[in-house]
Amino acid sequence: MTIYDETHDLFRASFRSFLEAELLPRFDEFEKAGIMDRDVFVQAGKHGFVGFSIPEQYGGGDTRDFRFNAIISEEIAATGAGGGALGLTLHNDITTPYFVEYCNEEQSARWMPGIASGELITAIAMTEPGTGSDLAGVQTTAIRDGDEYVLNGAKTFITNGINSDLVIVVCRTDPSAGRKGMSLLVVERGMSGFERGRNLDKVGQHSADTAELFFSDVRVPVANLLGEEGHAFDYLGFNLAQERLSIGTYGLAAAEAALGWTIDYVKDRQAFGQPLAAFQNTKFVLAEVATECEVTRPFIEQSVMQLNEGKLSPAKAAMAKMWGSELQKRTMDRCLQLFGGYGYMLEYPIGRAYADARIATIYGGTTEIMKTIISKEVLG
């Protein structure tokens, strides 16, 4: 039984064609450059593959059906082009929901058409050099001065950090109020005092631009306050379930893709006069990986439908993120081993997927943070 209907199947086929036409022919170029061409976002917008949760009046698809997001993750994973397309999934799954949920009418008219068209690329800046997963430790401040906030601080590990036009910045608008003093400001490309650092040189996901951001007396109009002042923690919690499910969904799809590549390889590769597939160890490893993927898919799909219904709990989202990302990392390691030395060469997709997978158990909240969240529900 599948959670997808004919509309989703048509969407899948269309997105697969888009990847084959617009991304894959240039993927190696993007990997070497360390950044994906902005035109890919624009082309995705023309075909309706970004901003589909944005209201129709602003050029979006006006749907909150996360099955479309899941299809995008699954198809990207199947191509092995996860690094380059990470910016697309972040734009759709993680940043756009904040604009849809918290923009006022003026902000919606100003920003949403560009987000839906792919001409305005988005990012969210939470992590700071000294905070990591501890959002309560954010030091970036935005002190109000008349009709503006004066923003000072630094962020790091920001996906779409180089390409982004709109950056949602988590900051302290009242440094004395603890969590209740934190707000979300939208910083726009070109604002004086807003500087981008280097495009960070990562272990994997090379074509996903990831940058340091610096704010030095950036004067951000009060009109760029997203939602109400002092509510950042509530707003961030609103979308965390979707963000974590997105990572878990991709993790499962990446594991399934690796399994497929490995099955094809071991059937063809000869060693000691027989195919690798004939060895008992190969059979046992692939049997275990296939079983883990098979039993994970119903849980992920159930979680997708619960998210659509507004019923996905923080603990279930954490389970999806923890299990899906750990499955991805574990599968890449085991499958690469079956490729032998060729697995370490980038001519096979398993090598790149192995490097790309290592971050999965870290970003979006580490596995250890996910366990802490899950334990709270388990223990009551």
How crowded is the C-beta side of 130, counted as CA atoms within 13 Å? 6
pTM: 0.94
Of 243, 256, 292, 326, which one is the catalytic site residue? 243
Is residue 256 part of the annotated active site? The answer reads: no
**Domain layout of the chain by residue ranges:** 6-120, 123-230, 233-379
Per-residue pLDDT at 312: 96
Per-residue pLDDT at 136: 74
What is the pLDDT averaged over residues 20-32? 94
What is the pLDDT averaged over residues 217-222? 98
CA angle 136, 162, 144 (to 5 degrees): 45
Helix (H, G, I), strand (E, B) or coil at 271: strand
The two tokens of residue 331 are 């599968």
What is the pLDDT averaged over residues 75-99? 89
Please provide the CATH number assigned to the domain covering 123-230.
Answer: 2.40.110.10
What CATH fold (topology level) applies to the domain 233-379? Butyryl-CoA Dehydrogenase, subunit A; domain 3 (1.20.140)
Across the chain, what does the average pLDDT equal? 95
The two tokens of residue 131 are 């905070």
Where residue 1 falls among pLDDT bands split at 50, 70, 90?
confident
| Alpha helix ranges (H) inside the chain | 6-18, 27-33, 38-46, 66-79, 82-89, 96-102, 105-117, 232-268, 280-308, 314-339, 349-357, 367-379
Q: What is the pLDDT of residues 131-174, one digit of tens each?
A: 766 677 899 999 999 999 999 999 999 999 999 999 999 999 99
Rounded to the nearest 10 degrees, the angle between the axes of helix 314-339 and helix 367-379 is 140
What CATH fold (topology level) applies to the domain 6-120? Butyryl-Coa Dehydrogenase, subunit A; domain 1 (1.10.540)
Q: Which helix (H) or strand (E) holds 210?
A: strand 210-221
Q: What is the pLDDT of residues 302-318, one digit of tens each?
A: 999 999 999 999 999 99
Judged against a pLDDT cut of 70, whether residue 64 lies above it is answered with yes
